[in-house]
A and B are shown apart, each in its own frame.
Chain A
Amino acid sequence: MLSINNLQASVEGKEILKGINLTVNPGEVHAIMGPNGSGKSTLASVLAGRADYEITGGEVLFEDKDLLEMSPEERSHEGVFLAFQYPVEIPGVSTANFLKTALNEVRKHRGEEQLDAMDFLKLMKEKAKLMDIELSFLQRSLNEGFSGGEKKRNEIFQMAMLNPKLSILDETDSGLDIDALKIVSNGVNSLRSENNATILITHYQRLLDYIIPDFVHVLYKGKIVKSGGKELALELEARGYDWVKDEVGE
């Protein structure tokens, strides 16, 4: 599904990603861990197409298409979803209206009819239930005045509505209390299928107790320095990142 080959990217002339290699197949969940400043969020932003980053080398193929050539909205239409670390607030636009517009843009791209109001409402009710969200909540302006936890829950709700092929969750667990973490994890787990894949970006092993990854990668100084199964996360939790730093010879 996703194939990242020797990806290099910099921001304002500073090299952040220094040759990332990663292959993600349908049905897989990959966790990317690493200390602060290792380039985790940069990787997420580059995959989603944020303009602040300059790609200095390498390639990214998404279902054999050149992802880096696509505009952010094209990537979205192709099925790439980013759950933001810091979701924005949009005053005056309800979550429901926002998602209806988003969903219809995807349908337009696929040459499908616009979703009518009844079908949209039905879909929204179904997904809101999954995320334990009240419908009245969705009539409020997108993320305006939401708590950190509510914003993150809203991100996963949007993911459920848009049904992407590849979801990138950028520190979705940060700022969540244990109950919210469970709800968010349940949501993500119930959306897992043979046809989609997830990249979890996180600092902490805690999230991986709820969303069990197939692979764990350690990103350090812009490179993936260690990969393994879910047990790697536990080892990191026990021994800290210094252990990895030692291993790569620092």
Chain B
Amino acid sequence: METNMDILDEVVSRDYQYGFVSDIEQEITPKGLNEDVVRLISGKKNEPEWMLEWRLKAYRHWLTMREPKWPNVHYPQIDFNDISYYASPKVKTDAPLSLDEIDPELRKTFDKLGISLIEQQRLSGIAVDAVFDSVSVATTFKAKLAEKGIIFCSMSEAVREHPELIKKYIGSVVPVGDNFYSALNSAVFSDGSFCYIPKGVRCPMELSTYFRINAKDTGQFERTLIVADEGSYVSYLEGCTAPMRDENQLHAAVVEIVAHKNAEVKYSTVQNWYPGDKNGKGGIYNFVTKRGICLEDNSKISWTQVETGSAITWKYPSVILKGDNSIGEFYSVAVTNNYQQADTGTKMMHIGKNTKSRIVSKGISAGKSHNSYRGLVKINKTASNARNFSQCDSLLIGDKCGAHTFPYLEVSNCNSTVEHEATTSKIGEDILFYCNQRGIPTEEAIALIVNGYCKEVMNQLPMEFAVEAQRLLAVSLEGSVG
């Protein structure tokens, strides 16, 4: 008789839906990294001298650094000279394109991904910045946002048009030399989104960036910077996909968020990079540095992530709670299946008084994958009455996967409260048989259990995203036991 595990096995083989390659004429720089490549990228972007200097400084610093070896992930040594650092769709002019001028093939690519770049066709009020390999190809609703004084554009454009803001904030949260990958990103970052919400403005729509890797043997190094001025609010979404390729591709992004007094930023990610095939071949190395700073009093930064893709994920969206009474939140669902590996979590650095942080992490491991939660809660001497609550749950599906938890707590004063709760549960034969006996087939049973398990995190996602995320979760786990 066919067992539940067999059924699960069968469904694992479901294909990655976004694995197609777009046939677009592209300009790709030769493989390898040196100062000339950095200059070339900067030149392509028509960047001012100061930006090039900043990049070169980062590059020189990067040369002195070594890859981190502490994450609980295993992969062959990356040859950084075997990667091409810049790829862009060919365009006739240098000027930023208007929406109707976009290459129809490119537009088709995004349509296929469910991202419409045509403003009239967009049902929900979400403004999108679409990044294809190394360049931003379109930003929608710019004019409407500009009416409120909101700046939402590609990073390249921001460097040229808003140098004073970029100079002030870039690298202010994630310094150039913060870590190996952030240094690399600082040297070669190609594009990404910039967003500035002025004083007292509540952004009337969700802002989002959609990242697509298309070219072969390239890395994607985007950089996102969000600045919320006093009393403002913005909700920001990020999505990503890549073609199915046999070789691994590197994605090393940096996201920085600055929240001024009474400002609030909500950042949501649905990460669906190509995870590799079911034998662990190919897939994206997702080595990302995301950090926000609650710079002034009563500010709030909230990270929500649903991580289902990538061969290897290494990311710790963090919050520096500098302002008094500021709040940091981290809600995460990380799913690994087949041979995927994830080492993800957060850092909450309490500096201001009465600062609060909340961590809810739900790891789901299936197949032969490994899923680690790594988190640091650091409460400085200055952070009197700080509070943290952490909940780290692991769910194992089948008996060949692994879940690991590495929580670090550093408390330097005696009037703070830190709570940590952790559970590990398993969807095994017993639970599946119980569900089957009540008439619920195995696949539905897994969906029911996983959705119940992730509810707390999913509830944090904006509506449109939550639906996509839930569907993604189901697809990622279909046939998840081996």
Q: Residues on A close to B: CB < 8 A? A: 48-52, 71-73, 75-77, 81-82, 84, 87-88, 90-94, 97-99, 101-103, 105-106, 109, 141, 158, 162
Chain B nearest CB: distance from A83 CB in Å? 10
Given A50-B433, A88-B431: A73 touches B452 (CB 8 Å cut-off): no
On whether the beta carbons of A51 and B440 are closer than 8 Å, the reply is no
11 intermolecular pairs with C-beta atoms under 8 Å apart = A48-B433, A49-B1, A49-B436, A73-B437, A82-B437, A90-B435, A97-B452, A101-B440, A105-B438, A105-B439, A141-B452
CB-CB nearest 5 A-B residue pairs: A92-B452, A72-B436, A76-B439, A93-B452, A102-B438
B441 interfacial contact with A, CB 8 Å: yes
A106 contacts across to B, CB distance below 8 A = 439
Residues of A within 8 A of B448 (CB): 93, 97-98, 101
* B98 on interface, CB distance cutoff 8 Å: no
Chain B residues, CB < 8 A from A76: 436-439
Residue of A nearest to B441 (CB): A73
Q: Which of B1, B452, B454 contacts A51 (CB 8 A)?
A: B1
Decide: A105 and B452 in contact? CB cutoff 8 A.
Answer: no
Please pick, from A73, A81, A94, A162, the residue contacting B436 in the complex, using a CB distance under 8 A: A73
The answer to whether B438 touches A158, judged by C-beta atoms less than 8 angstroms apart, is yes
CA of A105 to CA of B434, assembled, Å: 14
**C-alpha spacing A168/B455, complex, angstroms:** 34
A91 in complex: contacting residue of B429, B441, B453, CB < 8 Å: B453
A50 to B428, CA, bound (A): 13
Q: Contacts A91-B453, A162-B438 hold; do A105 and B433 have CB atoms under 8 A apart?
A: no
Name the one of A52, A91, A98 contacting B438, with C-beta atoms under 8 angstroms.
A98
CB distance from B360 to the nearest CB of A (A): 12
The answer to whether A51 touches B434 (Cβ under 8 A) is no
Question: Binary interface profile of B, 436-461, with partner A (CB < 8 Å = 1, else 0)?
Answer: 11111100100011001111000000
Overall SS of chain B's interface:
helix
Residues of B within 8 Å of A93, CB to CB, are: 448-449, 452
Residue of A nearest to B452 (CB): A92
Tell me which of A52, A75, A77, A84 contacts B434 (CB under 8 A): A84
Return chain A residues, CB-CB under 8 Å to B441: 71, 73, 105
A91 pairs with B425, CB closer than 8 A: yes
Query: Count of chain B residues with Cβ under 8 Å from any Cβ of A?
Result: 25
Chain B residues whose C-beta falls within 8 Å of the C-beta of A72 in the assembled complex = 433, 436-437
B394 to chain A, nearest CB (A): 11
Shortest distance from the beta carbon of A110 to any chain B beta carbon, whole Å: 11
Name the residue of chain B whose CB is nearest to the CB of A168: B437
Distance between Cα atoms of A25 and B240 in the complex (Å): 60
- The minimal Cβ–Cβ distance linking A38 to chain B, given in whole angstroms, is 22
Give the complex CA separation of A82 and B453 in angstroms: 25
A88-B431, A90-B431, A91-B423 known; A48 vs B453 contact (CB < 8 Å): no
Contacts of A92 in B (CB 8 A): 449, 452-455
Enumerate B1-31 residues with CB–CB distance to A below 8 Å: 1-4
User: With a CB–CB cut-off of 8 A, which chain A residues contact B425?
Assistant: 91
B430 at the binding interface (Cβ < 8 Å): yes
Interchain CB contact (< 8 A) of A101 among B1, B430, B434, B444: B444
- Cβ of B438: which chain A residues have Cβ within 8 Å of it? 76, 98-99, 102, 105, 158, 162
Which residues on the A side are within 8 Å of B444 (C-beta)? 101, 105
* Nearest A residue (CB) for B431: A88
- Evaluate contact between B452 and A109: CB separation under 8 angstroms: no
Which chain B residue has the least Cβ–Cβ distance from A158? B438
Q: Do A51 and B433 form a contact, CB below 8 Å, given A106-B439, A162-B438, A162-B439?
A: yes
Q: Which A residues touch B435, using CB under 8 A?
A: 90, 102
Nearest chain A residue, comparing its CB with the CB of B447: A101
Judge whether A73 and B429 touch: CB under 8 Å.
no
How many Å lie between the Cα of A101 and that of B444 in the bound state? 9
* 20 further contact pairs, Cβ within 8 A, besides A49-B437, A73-B441, A88-B434: A51-B433, A71-B1, A71-B436, A71-B441, A73-B436, A77-B439, A81-B437, A82-B437, A84-B434, A84-B437, A90-B431, A90-B435, A91-B453, A92-B454, A102-B435, A102-B438, A103-B439, A105-B441, A141-B452, A162-B438
Tell me, rounded to whole Å, the shortest Cβ–Cβ distance linking A94 to chain B: 8
Given contacts A76-B436, A105-B439, contact A90 B1 (CB under 8 A): no
Closest to A52 in B: B429
> How far does the alpha carbon of A84 sit from the alpha carbon of B435 in the complex, in Å?
12
Q: A88-B430, A92-B449 are in contact. Are A73 and B423 (CB under 8 A)?
A: no
Q: Which residues of B contact A105 (CB under 8 A)?
A: 438-441, 444
Q: How far is the CA of A72 from the CA of B433 in the complex (A)?
A: 7
Cα A81 to Cα B438 with chains together (Å) = 7
Q: Give bound CA distance, A45 to B437, whole Å.
A: 10
**How many whole Å from B452's CB to the nearest CB in chain A?**
3
Q: Give A75 to B436 CA distance when docked, in angstroms.
A: 9
A128 to B452, CA, bound (A): 22
Contacts of A71 in B (CB 8 A): 1-2, 436, 441
Contact in complex: B430, A51 (CB < 8 Å): no
Closest to B7 in A: A71
Enumerate chain B residues within 8 angstroms of A141, measured Cβ to Cβ.
Answer: 452
Return chain B residues, CB-CB under 8 Å to A109.
439
- Nearest to A51 among chain B residues (CB) is B3
Q: Chain A residues near B2: list those with CB within 8 A.
A: 71
Chain A residue nearest to B4 in the complex (CB)? A51
Residues in B whose Cβ lies below 8 Å from that of A91: 423, 425, 452-453
Please, how many angstroms separate the alpha-carbon atoms of A166 and B423 in the complex?
37
- Which residues does chain B contribute within 8 Å of A103, judged by CB atoms? 439
B429 and chain A: residue at smallest CB distance: A51
B274–chain A nearest beta-carbon distance, Å: 29
Are B439 and A73 touching (Cβ within 8 A)? yes
- A102 and B440 form a contact (CB under 8 A): yes
Report B59-87 CB contacts with A as 1/0, cut-off 8 Å. 00000000000000000000000000000
Q: In whole Å, how far is B397's beta carbon from the nearest beta carbon of chain A?
A: 13
Query: Which of A81, A90, A109 lies at the interface centre, i.e. has the most chain B CB atoms within 10 A of its CB?
Result: A90
A89 to B415, CA, bound (A): 37
Chain A residues lying within 8 Å of B439, measured Cβ to Cβ, are 73, 76-77, 102-103, 105-106, 109, 162
Minimum Cβ distance to chain B for residue A76 (Å):
4
Contacts of B429 in A (CB 8 A): 51-52
